[in-house]
Structure 1
């Protein structure tokens, strides 16, 4: 089923989804404690329990109940919780029984009033759980709520209060509440790495900022998870560069996107957008700046909803964290399967912060023909625990219980009060300074030195290395000097350009020894280019296969990142199918090209201990040499597959629209079967010789996969094939080819064949095309993908046949050029059945 069909299904299911969302989240554990109160306290629709009524929760060395008059409490939605406090003069703890393990919120409320001999603004204390230090040497002068989330792996959670020497601790109210499983996934994007960040499940998090862009405060009463979202005005760096937009009614929650538990529609329904005033020459970013603690990583969650466009594919923009571009040319409609104003979010993890300032920006895309615009609807910044399990540090934090009408306040926490903390901070600063020397500040960090295969990273002649050049240790044999590349391409002659992609331009070239090459020159403005450069070298320096394009070398001198490949005389498969005026390929040629590409992908999936998933299988990435032999190219998005004890890799969705596996898109879980789906789209593209997405066609024909699947299921695939193939395809060959493509496009990956099975069936389709198979008992059946597999057990009965193990070996280690047709010429003989 194609991506467009999923868009239609989202509309059909929207009412059911909204009905489900309306019920909200019911936490399995829901402890609400009004500390020191003699009676229960109601706040909104929630009841906070008096802690003195249940002594099982509290284990205190010594505690005092403090209280103040309501008149002393300034106006606040949470003011009832601040009338009493529990004061601890010794180490004390609350212990909660946990009915469902997993992530839980811990919300701590503080209001430092004076009671008797206790002036709470002078208190200094630590708060910790079994595995994490939440606050250290903490003191507070104004009302504040601190929110943490921790992963509870046992059947209880203890929160311990430890007064500093000659001081005491206090708490006005606290919450321990279950968090929805899907709220914090295990994986996120990484600001500086293409492989992303794994392991968020194990992290303790502190909510530092939760911001509603372009809108007012969203109180906890209007959030399904009782969160408060503050306005963004005080964080905007240049307020005149942005204008607010509100269109809450337009917001849609669809499958694959955000839910109201991720953020409410009042957040997604407002945004800040570029104040470009319809000026097509506008070129600036809208930026927000936040105070953070150095020495910690941060989880940044962007909330997006295109409430400003009138139609799909109008809005393209870039997203930055500090000076690093994390998303280029973001088109929200492609992420959410052609649904306008659908809520969506993206997570990114930063490196260790070396500054006490963090900036987030959105800005216009450089895509030709797009209007300059950019939006941001909401933002969350969460501090991640350090290697010691601690979240402690001094920072300015957003509060939800201040004396202002907007429930916004800020405090400056005390600095770390122990020598070990100072020592740790010193070590962190040294590390950060060393890193900063590798990448001088003040400029874009698009080009960064990196290490391949565990090798030591050296200065690479990047735009920051002042001309010093050295090659990567582990791939030194692939290094080609810039002067040689310049000479090979006639100084990058524009008339020698043979292609343009997201990484940059591709030039035809010839080395001194006469070797023809394709030279891919990176665009220094492309953050994606850095990831592609690293991944291509990592992958292609390991692989050698006759159906994978070979990497000849790379160059990283003189501000450049250049990749040099073997030259493929006949260009892309796509160019021979439509749009380029090349002579039409015969059916046999097309089958052989598909078989070659399938062999290359099968090798990626099975040739090493861990599978390599291409992630961008499409006709433009299948290249043809002078003999029209197919080779898979462009490994910039490739990713190593799951471990042996895992079923998938959780990762941000990447790929090309029209080829993208809808299951991968929905679940952000990547397997080899995602490549199989994309290859199925290529098979129909080869058969029909038309683009996979063509908006100029009638609606039912726009998406090739959806359209072709309808004809395939009717048994009338011959009605839509390339007119140049009419009358040239044997019915059995077409039937087998169509069945193979259909299986590849199964809705669920588990129902799709492996690339090995696809390869077998394409070889069979070729044999059926070249000769009628006599006595085939299933000649007229609609047999399924793996029908040939049981025949393997009988292959050994024949003389001069190839065993299944030999077949596998020849497929995986296909360096010799042995044709698989010899295998199938034996398998399809009637006497071998």
Structure 2
């Protein structure tokens, strides 16, 4: 009986060892050392170990007893190094062709014979540049690469810069499992897959274990180090860390060599338990070199669900969706706790950041959830076989230089051609001007007629007309700066007068702007869909000669912003401000409810509310507008756009756009209307610089009067002010679900206006009343206003005349 446990232990050890990867090529070199060095369960050989050969014209072996201050598993290899005074190389015999790790250990030792911190050198292998102009940091660093070796040897070259030297503390060249790096991986674009990944060199950028746990190399079959994800998390308060290593069940969708149980058994999960209605994302930020593609591997294992088909979520790279409604159970054939992984290629960009995001899915009425167990990011060598960022810049500059050389070489030919073409150009120009003049005559002499190409020159309603550029120039006196009435991100706005004396506002976009073109298209598309008395009307547009011009109805009194602050325009009284607020709310309410799919303005601010000759408000500028969510969705996932100070904080954090984002921005406009000051005012004391932060404190009972514009002092009736303050506070609620709809806002604003009409605020008066009747009326009217909260809303508004949406 006593022998049985020994046999069992032997069998278990044999089974475990059979699953441990045993590399065919396994070269571990402790450079500069005269003896072997043990690092955990591995042994790094001395520099003179065969069959490896070192070729160098000038070599110095450096040894010291000092070790790095930071305690690491591999600290034993850093007290020695080999220093190269000239171009040198290591040659490693390769027994099994295929993928190999190459790990280079660097730590600039303090040694009396050489200051290694001044080294400057490059490293290459096969046809790939691994490092260029490398200057090692003052802390230990391991550079890790994957190369597909297709010959019987690997030559690793160290090339010092002129008047400098190279060094290395330790080297690894190790075979890796064939399945570790795929030949191709999907991109998150319609282009499909990138083939021939094996023809590139890969460099480790990040290898992260989720769940706020570090995995040391001795706990990984391929001796990999996995950093904790905590330092990369954007919002650590939105997640929770879970651990259940014993539950990991390898069933073939991943292996211990792809990632160990200590990775699959820990995870970072969306924390939605406290509020299931909260839909947040968890995001990790990584610094990368721009201009390169990146191989990204996600590791998943559902260690939290009690049964299959309970975990659905979305996966994003740089805010672009790569997997929607990802079902972990489907990925693992409904085998719970089974690890799996998915690979993607992130295409090159100009950004130095690569963002990884997991967000809740809205499919199948899924509970808002999401999980990630591990992540690997590897840089892919460029078309020149380089992994160095500097090379990418040089290649780009060289390419530009070649382009300019080619351009320069044909300048002479072009010059001659231009001389010959000049006569033809003059003839063409004259014909074009004649055609434009004919179009103008058609427009103003024959309304409703058609031009020679069959397109209507003008409609009777002046809506949706495509204006000739010549007409626009005439109306604006060739875009005279004296006619500029506004300047924005899209471009300049001019006042124009057509020949029939119609005043128009002409918005001229900045040329060659991709963003401007997108906004130009969006605004025309949106304005063509609806007509409403509280939305600025589209008259026409012009897209000739790369121009982006939109023609609107002219608004005599400019922007609401200019009537509140920052100009010499007359101040608005409280009733005017309330009516403007109501008009704006009607316009936004129509956008949100006037069609089968809501339209979200996305840039509500006082500068985008215009006033006509009667101070009637109209919402303008729809360049950032976006269609709302589908009927079965709660939001639209999109990049954050809008104006600083007006942005919904929930939209800013989660990148989830809803109509309630407009509601928040409208709440900020209400504060501007009430206070008569800008959203951000640096001239104010520090505690009142930010209008919203200051107002949130002042919206409490008894403090509201402090927010009121001094110009309105003693003008607003208390009940009207109270109602206005309550709705503004609700608009600025932190969560969208707690904010009212624009319809509810409109109702309360009209209530505030009605209260201004039926309430008479008592005034201090030392003169006796002229009659008992006058005293009676004052007393009765004030009591109705004071008790408004206890009166049925239907009674209060029984006599109110309400304007229908048009």
TM-score, reference length from structure 2: 0.48
Higher Cα Rg: structure 1 or 2? 2
